[in-house]
Amino acid sequence: MAPLLGGLAIDAGYGYASVAWVGSGLAVAGAAGVLWAAHLRRSGPEREATRPRTAVISRETAKAEA
């Protein structure tokens, strides 16, 4: 993707220096995507299924079951 966009910038007449700007823009877009994904992962619903459920059994219940 980056070589294509860099080539298009050169072909459009912006010169070889424009390739650095295209690369910088792609890097910023990639970093924004990573930050957005991290935000979505942190703010998402808690996964109750991954937490083991433990039952609290009183001593009286344990004696009655034995």
The answer to whether 31 and 39 have CB atoms below 8 angstroms apart is: no
| Span 13-55, pLDDT tens digits | 999 999 999 999 999 999 999 999 999 888 866 655 555 566 6
| Span 44-57, pLDDT tens digits | 666 555 555 666 66
Residue 33 carries which side chain, given as an amino acid letter? G
Residue with tokens 């009286």: 60
Residues in the chain: 66
Q: At 41, is the secondary structure helix, strand, or coil?
A: helix
Model pTM above 0.85? no
